[in-house]
Amino acid sequence: MINIKKTCPSGTIGDYLARELAAHGVRQVFGYPGAAVIPLMESIDENPNLTWITTRNEANAALAASACAKLTGSVSVCVATSGPGATNLITGLADAQADRAPLVAITGMIQTWRQGRFDFQDLDAARLLGQLSSYSVQCSHPQELPAILRECLGRSQQERCLTHIALPVDLQKFEIPSDYQDFFQNGQRQETDLAPLCSKAAQRAVEEIGRAKNLVIAVGPWAREAGSAIEQLAEKLQVPILTAFNAKAVIRDNHPNRLGVLGIFGAPGVEVSRDILSEAELVLAFGLSDLAPFVTGHDGAQKRKLIQCEPTPATVTHSFHRQATLVGDLQQIADHLGASLKDSPDGGTLLHRAKELTAQFRKRWNPEQCVEEDPAHIHPVQVLGALSPFVAEEAIVALDIGDNAIWASQFLDLNGRQKLLVSENMGAMGFCLPACIAAGLAEPGTPVVGITGDGGIQMSIGELATAVQHKIPFVLLIFSNHVLGRIQAQESHPFQVHLHNPDWVALARAYGADGAVLDGSTSPEEVFKKAFQSRDTPFLIDVRLNPKTQAPVGSWNDGFCPLHYA
C-alpha cells in the first residue's frame, strides 16, 4: 500500500493531475520551467507529496526520469514546456521506451484557441512523441483528463513503457468539474498479487532442463530480487550464468558460476561469453528485457531453445519459440526449479570450459600487469580493481556509454547486491550524471557511484548544478583520455574524435562540488578514501587514461556482412 496525505479534492486540472500522480506513487517530477506549464508546476509545487526537480535541460530531465523508473520499477514523470521543450525530451524518452522503463511524459501546449496556426512554440507534441510512445494523446477538454491520465499511468506501469500527455496551458488552469473523482479509493493504490506458478508449465520446464546437455542461465534486470536463488540453482545444475549488461549486479561477480556480461552496445562484450553461448543448446532466461543476444545469431535467427521466466505476462516474448514459459515471482520460480531438479553428478562440461576461458581472460588482464609506463596516465583495470572494494553492497552504480562502460562491465567487481543503471538499448551518451541524480533522489542515503567518459559527461555536465542545488552526494569517475575511444576503435585512422577538456576538478569546484585527479603518480586507494567520505555534494575524480589503451570487446562472427560504399 502507498499511503498519501489527504488533499482537498477541489482545485484546478493541474491540482487534480498532481494529486493523482502522487497517489500513484510518484515522488519526484523532473522538468524544466516554461510558460506553457506554469499552472501545472504550481500545482506540483504545492502538493506536499511531490518534489519538482529543475534540471538544466529537458533532455536530462527525461534521462533522469528514465533512470528513476529503471531503478524503482514504478512510474516516473518528466515535464516540459511546448515547442522546443517537448523536442528536447526525445532522447531520454526513447531511452525509457527502449529499456522498457515505465515513464509518463507531460508536455505543455499553447492555448487551445491558438493551436494550428504556426504560432510561437506551436507544436503537435502528441503526434511527434506518438512515434516513440506506446500511447500519446492531447487532452483537449477537461472531461477527457481522468480517462487519459488513468490510461497513461496504468499502461506505463503494466506494460513497462512510455506514455505521453500533451496538456494545453489554458486547460491546466481550468477548475475541476464537480463530478471528478480520484482514481484510488482513500488515496491508495492497491498492489497486484501474482498468481501461483502454473504446475504444468513448471513440469515442462523441468523436463526440458533435465534433457539439455549444454544449458546456460541468462539473467536480466527484472530478476534483481532473485539473484541468490538463481545462483543456488546454477550451483545445483553446475551451469554457467550470463547476465545482460543492465543486470550485471544481479549476480555476484565473484560467484564461481558467473561467466560475465553478454550484449554491450550491439556487441557481445566478452569473447568468453560469446564463445560459451555458442555451445549452448538451451537458455534458461530470468527477467531479460532483450532476449535476442542470448537466443539468436547475428542474423537474427533463433539458434537456441528457450525457457522464459518473467515476473508478469506483459514481459513474455512472442518473438521467439519457447519450450516453456513460467510467469510469477522469479525467486519462487528459481527455488521451485531447484527443488524439482537433480544435482549434476560430475559437474557441467560447459561450466568447466567457461571457468578455463575466464581464468585465461583474467590472467591476460591482471591488474598487476596492466600498468601504464607514463606516470601521467593510469590503466582502467588498475582503477576499477581499486574502486571495487569501495562500492558498498547496497550502492547504486550508474554507467555512461563508451569504453568507460565496457571497462566497468568487465573489471568492476560488484559482489554485493548493488543496482546498476545504464542506457542499455538506446546507448544515450550523457546518461550517467542524470542517473546519479535520480538515484540520489529516489533512494536518499544510499551510496551512488557513477562512471562516465569525457565525451558523455560534456553532454550533461550542467546537471552538476542540479546535484549541488539539491545536495545530492555521489562519486563520479570521469575516464578522461581526450578521445571518443569507442568511435576511434572503429575508424581506419583517427578523425573527428579528439576532445578538448576543461580542468574537471576546477569545474567541479566552480559548481560547488569537489574533486581530485587520479593518474599514474597518485594512489587510487588514497583518492577513493577521500572521495567516499561523507558529504552533501558530488565528488568528481579526473581519471587520466592513455588514449591508446582500448577496452577489450568481442565481435559477432556469424553471418555479418559489412556494407561497402562506392
412-421 pLDDT tens trace: 999 878 999 9
Least trusted range by pLDDT, from 173-182, 318-327, 458-467, 486-495: 173-182
Does residue 267 carry a pLDDT above 60? no
Report the percent of the chain where pLDDT is more than 90.
63
Q: What is the pLDDT of residue 185?
A: 47
Does residue 259 carry a pLDDT above 50? yes
Average pLDDT score over the chain:
88
- 522 vs 559, which has greater pLDDT? 522
Q: How confident is the model at residue 407 (pLDDT cuts 50, 70, 90)?
A: very high
Does residue 204 carry a pLDDT above 70? yes
- 519 vs 492, which has greater pLDDT? 519
Residue 125, CA distances (Å) to 88, 377, 411, 415 in order: 11, 47, 43, 44
Looking up cell 554507467 gives 399
Q: Give the DSSP per-residue string, 411-441.
A: H----S--EEE--TTT--TT-HHHHHHHHHH
Q: What is the pLDDT of residue 112?
A: 75
Q: What is the pLDDT of residue 279?
A: 87
Q: What is the pLDDT of residue 316?
A: 87
E strands, 220-335, are 241-243, 258-264, 267-269, 282-286, 305-310, 324-327
Does residue 495 carry a pLDDT above 90? no
Does residue 372 carry a pLDDT above 90? no
Q: How confident is the model at residue 431 (pLDDT cuts 50, 70, 90)?
A: very high
Q: How confident is the model at residue 346 (pLDDT cuts 50, 70, 90)?
A: low
- 485 vs 17, which has greater pLDDT? 17
Residue 77 near residue 22, CB atoms below 8 Å: no
Q: What is the pLDDT of residue 297?
A: 76
In three-state secondary structure terms, 97 is helix
Q: What is the pLDDT of residue 94?
A: 97
Q: How confident is the model at residue 110 (pLDDT cuts 50, 70, 90)?
A: confident
Most confident of 269-278, 484-493, 508-517: 508-517
E strands, 215-337, are 215-219, 241-243, 258-264, 267-269, 282-286, 305-310, 324-327
**Mean pLDDT of the 58-84 span:** 96
Domains of the chain in sequence order: 13-187 (3.40.50.970), 199-358 (3.40.50.1220), 365-544 (3.40.50.970)
Residue 288 near residue 230, CB atoms below 8 Å: no
d(CA 221, CA 395): 16
Q: What is the pLDDT of residue 184?
A: 57
Q: Which helix (H) or strand (E) holds 109?
A: strand 103-109
Q: What is the pLDDT of residue 300?
A: 81
Q: What is the pLDDT of residue 77?
A: 98
Least trusted range by pLDDT, from 285-299, 374-388, 395-409, 427-441: 285-299
Does residue 116 carry a pLDDT above 70? no
Does residue 373 carry a pLDDT above 70? yes
Q: Is 141 exposed, middle or buried (0-12, 13-18, 19+ CB in 10 A)?
A: exposed
Q: In what order do the strands lie in the sheet with 448-453?
A: 419-421, 396-399, 448-453, 475-480, 539-544, 514-518
Q: What is the pLDDT of residue 484?
A: 85
- 338 vs 275, which has greater pLDDT? 338
From 75, 260, 264, select the one nearest 157 (Cα to Cα).
75
Does residue 278 carry a pLDDT above 60? yes
Residue 308, CA distances (Å) to 1, 201, 311, 313, 330 in order: 29, 11, 10, 11, 11
Q: What is the pLDDT of residue 364?
A: 84
Q: How confident is the model at residue 32 (pLDDT cuts 50, 70, 90)?
A: very high
